[in-house]
Amino acid sequence: MMTPESSIWIVLAILFLSSFVRSAFGFGDALLAMPLLAMAVGIRTATPLVALIASTIALAILLGNWRQIRFAPAWRLIVSTLAGIPLGLWFLKGTYDTMLKLVLALVIIGFSGWSLLAHRHPTIKHERWAPVFGFAGGILGGAYNTNGPAVVIYGTLRHWPPASFRATLQGYFFPTGLLILMGHGGAGLWTGGVLRLYLYSLPVVLAAVWVGDMVHRRIPPGRFDRVVHILLLLIGAVLIVQTLTGI
């Protein structure tokens, strides 16, 4: 296992790539960063580092794009996510962990695969459905730290324009991410090594956010939707691999 000091350049490269993806599309950074950083610096360093970087990216995007946030669904998603977390923790203690993860992965893959192939896409026309997806996100976040897919699927079903999609996701991820950070701090995960890596990576992350923002502005809405579904397919595939291999 490499130490954080000896693997700084590897860490910076991983964080640049994952931060670029998050800035360009609004999500997907943890999917890329977590398994790679876990191999480079260990899971106890990777977990709080990714959380710190994710909150930084969300704040950076929000500062320049807060007018694009759809506040009504955002707060509904946040509140309902908090309500779903205790149930997710209960599932975490159960005996159906593998089965539930595989079901989640297959639902994500099935939805995105169908959306990529179908000529007509389903639509949710009212925000009253936001608490349903937020609650599902809370369950998945509490059990498996994967609250993102449920909220991303909601945004695609609402057919938000790319700018609103990305900004609203950050409006959701930022406050929920702060709660995760507080949990990591309380668990003693904010070590000197983690904080040093975070400070070293800040210029790289902010540069990636800037590049990702330029790319985001140049992606046509139709192509943006396809990329989102491809990323969701990748998330589902990674979940299956992680579940079956025990990673």
| Cβ atoms of 77 and 133 closer than 8 Å | yes
Compute the distance between CA of residue 76 and CA of residue 240 in angstroms, rounded to an integer.
Answer: 30
Question: At 4, is the pLDDT very low, low, confident or very high (cuts 50, 70, 90)?
Answer: very low
**Least confident residue range of 13-27, 136-150, 197-211:** 136-150
pLDDT tens track for 18-64: 999 889 888 878 777 877 887 788 878 888 898 899 899 999 999 98
Mean pLDDT across the chain: 83
Q: What's residue 114's pLDDT?
A: 78
Angle at which helices 43-65 and 192-217 pack, to 10 degrees? 40
